[in-house]
Amino acid sequence: MDALVIDNVSKSFGTTRAVENLSLRVPAGSILGLLGPNGAGKTTTIRMVMDIIAPDSGRIEVLGGHRPAQVKDRVGYLPEERGLYRKMKVLGTLRYFASLKGIAGEQTSRCAWQWIEWADLRQYAHRRVEELSRGMQQKLQFAIACIHKPELVILDEPFAGLDPINLDLMKAVISALRGQGAAILLSTHMMHHAEQMCDAIVLIHKGKAVLEGKLEDLQGRWRTNCVVAEMEGDREFLGALPFVSAVRPDGQSVEISLTEGADPQALLEAMVSRVRIRSFRLKSPTLHEMFIRIVGGKDAQNP
């Protein structure tokens, strides 16, 4: 079942077209990446899903055809703008939001403490939110979004302000939510995170979808004409091969760009007699590379 359906949705602000004819679906038990540079229309799309603003045209259905206001206790939302009550204490904040989401009695404290333990905030449980670092506040707001075990989780730039340890921690929880059957819409301009986590992506630019589908399918359609190899021996000869256009060392590996139409097998045959090959693979294009090839470097901000 699709937990979220966006069908041909458009939104303008004055003469600015923020979102144009956008369609996507997020099935239960999956993560869909809503990707694009800053200003692409991601947050506008999410605000329409959450019924904060209304689309000019098109259809949005949540959890079986409902509007978000009708199923708010089944949806978790982490907005791009953080909205914590700075003077409240951490434990009280979690208990308060748990009660708003329909959790009652002793269960509010139980759920609050579970998320405090997850976020490593035990020593801050009785301190005010304003005393937390930016990363701690980010984890707290994520906990608020997920404390009621929502069926649909909408995350707008959830990794902002996190150090590598907490970034991995949040990624693990998001993956666990998917494993429990939740549908997750993950909006980010950091495309390498989406490559690691998402089952499918919709890449938007200037309000329009320019690339969509499962990552492995997209990578199969977009060849880079590059090989990544690890080898032992002198590799200076590579640049002199007539079908090699560039050689870029990358740590223990080397990235070899081939000329248009060149056969990677020819490169492998040329290498076998000169070096000991430890690995040899065709390089899959990154989402960033696909995006740049679609919209052109001058129009694409650095995602």
User: pLDDT per residue over 136-195, tens digit each?
Assistant: 999 999 999 999 999 999 999 999 888 999 999 999 999 999 999 999 999 988 888 888
Tell me the two tokens of residue 23: 């369609």
> Is residue 300 scored above 70 in pLDDT?
no
Do 177 and 63 belong to one domain?
Answer: yes
Do 40 and 179 belong to one domain?
Answer: yes
User: Nearest to residue 140, comparing CAs of 97, 100, 99?
Assistant: 97
Domain presence at residue 300: no
Do 190 and 106 belong to one domain?
Answer: yes
Domain presence at residue 302: no
Do 153 and 82 belong to one domain?
Answer: yes
- Residue 146 CB-half CA count within 13 A: 26
- At 185, give phi and psi (nearest 5°): -105, 115
Task: Find residue 253's DSSP bridge partners.
Answer: 230, 250
Do 173 and 235 belong to one domain?
Answer: no
- What's the rounded Cα separation, in Å, for the pair 123 and 113? 12
Do 29 and 154 belong to one domain?
Answer: yes
Average pLDDT over residues 249-276: 91
Do 187 and 260 belong to one domain?
Answer: no
Do 190 and 231 belong to one domain?
Answer: no
- What's the rounded Cα separation, in Å, for the pair 157 and 178? 18
- H-helix or E-strand containing 36? none
Do 16 and 112 belong to one domain?
Answer: yes
Domain presence at residue 211: yes
Do 167 and 261 belong to one domain?
Answer: no
Residue 30's domain spans which residues?
2-215
Domain presence at residue 288: no
Domain presence at residue 297: no
Q: What is the pTM of this model?
A: 0.83
Do 123 and 149 belong to one domain?
Answer: yes
Domain presence at residue 111: yes
pLDDT computed for residue 143 by the predictor: 95
pLDDT computed for residue 220 by the predictor: 74
pLDDT tens by residue, 186-235: 998 888 888 889 999 999 999 999 999 998 888 777 777 899 999 998 88
Q: Is 145 exposed, middle or buried (0-12, 13-18, 19+ CB in 10 A)?
A: buried
Domain boundary among 186, 215, 244: 215
Domain presence at residue 20: yes
Q: What is the CATH number of the domain that holds 234?
A: 3.30.70
Do 238 and 149 belong to one domain?
Answer: no
> CB neighbours (10 Å) of residue 231?
18
pLDDT tens by residue, 232-245: 988 899 999 999 99
What is the number of domains present in the chain?
2
Radius of gyration of the chain (CA): 23
Q: What is the CATH number of the domain that holds 89?
A: 3.40.50.300
pLDDT tens by residue, 73-122: 899 999 988 778 999 999 999 999 999 988 988 899 999 999 999 988 99
Domain presence at residue 296: no
